Amino acid sequence: MMRTIVGSLPDIRCESSPLAASHTPLLGLLDLRSRKRQNSNIIALLLLVTAPIGYAQVIEYPLGGNIRAEQGTLEMWFKLAAEPDPSQKQSLHYFPMFWFKQTGEDRPRASLNYQTVWKPDHFHFNWNSTGRAIGEFASDAYIATAEETQAATKADALSPGGRYPRTPRLKKDDWHYLAITWTDGLTKPKYSMFLDGRQVLLTATLNAVWWDDLDTMVLAMLGAPYHDNYALDELRLSSTARAPEEIAQIHASGKPPAGDMHTLLLDHLDTIDRQEPEAGKPPVCSTVAEQISGFTGEKGGRLNGLNWDVTDGRFGKAVVITGANREHK
């Protein structure tokens, strides 16, 4: 039975997949050093300690047939569901966004967070990736955007025009359009990021290949413990790295991304499918995508556990990822 959701979901409890709750090393920030790279990006090397913080894989999409390893684009509309709080000077404040994860591995192959890095009152998008480099398993350095309030950095001297692109401080309930592109995904991935139609991360060349077997990988939208994370609306995966001009036009149009010849996955997150359970088991819930491969029988993104709800979206409805320690009452 399919239900079109128009409000909150106090009565729906959904089965979690085996991957729904992951305990992964989260960053304890000890030191930060920047170094120059030929690609003119801000590259941060973090000295880390590990702490068992639980990320919840709230929405999962299988990657088989829904993504292209060689090149592609991930687009999404999102808004933070809580205000970033930099008041605790020794804390790392983070909003995990998503990761690509291989089944059976503890660490994600690539992940995107919005969090503090240089100072507790500076927030940045941070991309971390791990994969195969010359046959060995290796990690790349963190790549971080520069916030608009950040003072001049060494990267500014390397950047075209003399100033590295800045990102605004994200505020609760403001909708944003995020686009990430990659090329050369099977050799040395080249990675770029755009926010609201404007490039905020200059193209970075990475060493680690993220993909091994797409049929055993997932794209997971992540929940953080102790605070609401973000609302997701309009997810699209494409088989080509869309040009900066096209990304700017999509944002300026004021319309949701539409399917075209390059679209592999398109989910408006307007409709939830609730499959009636077997006796004694919770129902299985998922979004209903407009376009998806269906290689594993998927209709959309699988919704795990109780760490999600429905809210008004930028276009239609959206799924809000709630705190990893919350339950629907």
Task: Convert the pLDDT of each residue in 167-186 to its tens digit.
Answer: 888 888 999 999 999 999 99
Bridge partner list, 59: 221, 303
pLDDT of 236 strictly over 90 = yes
pLDDT of 326 strictly over 50 = no
Phi then psi for residue 316, to 5 deg, are: 75, -130
> Which stretch of DSSP H or E encloses residue 248?
helix 244-253
Confidence at residue 36, expressed as pLDDT on a 0 to 100 scale = 35
Three-state SS for 22? strand
Nearest in space to 85 (alpha carbons), one of 126, 120, 114? 120
Query: CA 234: distance to chain centroid?
Result: 13
Q: What is the rounded average pLDDT for all residues in the chain?
A: 78
Q: How far apart are CA 103 and CA 101, in angstroms?
A: 6
pLDDT of 78 strictly over 90 = yes
- Which residue is associated with the tokens 């801000």? 42
* Average of per-residue pLDDT across 193-208: 91
Q: How far apart are CA 296 and CA 215, in angstroms?
A: 9
pLDDT of 328 strictly over 80 = no
pLDDT of 141 strictly over 60 = yes
- pLDDT above 90 covers a percentage of the chain that reads 38
Q: What is the DSSP string of 101-114?
A: EETT-SS-SEEEEE
Confidence at residue 115, expressed as pLDDT on a 0 to 100 scale = 83
Contact 137, 130 (CB under 8 A): yes
Confidence at residue 324, expressed as pLDDT on a 0 to 100 scale = 53
Confidence of residue 235 (pLDDT cuts 50, 70, 90): very high
Q: Which positions ≥6 away from 245 have C-beta within 8 Å?
A: none
Q: Write the pLDDT tens digit of every residue in 278-319.
A: 776 777 889 999 999 988 888 999 998 778 889 999 999 999
Q: Write the pLDDT tens digit of every residue in 239-288.
A: 999 999 999 999 999 999 999 999 999 999 999 998 877 776 777 889 99
Three-state SS for 260? coil
Confidence at residue 135, expressed as pLDDT on a 0 to 100 scale = 60
- Going from the C-alpha of 174 to that of each of 7, 40, 80, 256, 269, the distances in angstroms are 20, 30, 7, 16, 18
Q: Write the pLDDT tens digit of every residue in 4-59.
A: 333 334 344 566 554 454 443 333 222 222 333 333 333 333 323 223 346 778 89
Q: How far apart are CA 49 and CA 25, in angstroms?
A: 8
Q: Sketch the domain layout of the chain as residue ranges.
A: 2-321
Confidence of residue 107 (pLDDT cuts 50, 70, 90): confident
Confidence of residue 139 (pLDDT cuts 50, 70, 90): confident
Confidence at residue 56, expressed as pLDDT on a 0 to 100 scale = 79
- pLDDT above 70 covers a percentage of the chain that reads 73
Confidence at residue 176, expressed as pLDDT on a 0 to 100 scale = 96
| Assigned architecture for domain 2-321 | Sandwich (2.60)
Confidence of residue 197 (pLDDT cuts 50, 70, 90): very high
Q: Write the pLDDT tens digit of every residue in 112-136.
A: 988 876 666 778 888 888 876 656 6
Q: Which positions ≥6 away from 130 have C-beta within 8 Å?
A: 107, 108, 109, 110, 137, 138, 139, 140, 208, 210
- Which residue is associated with the tokens 């990021």? 193
Torsion (CA) 117, 120, 121, 127 in degrees, nearest 10? 20
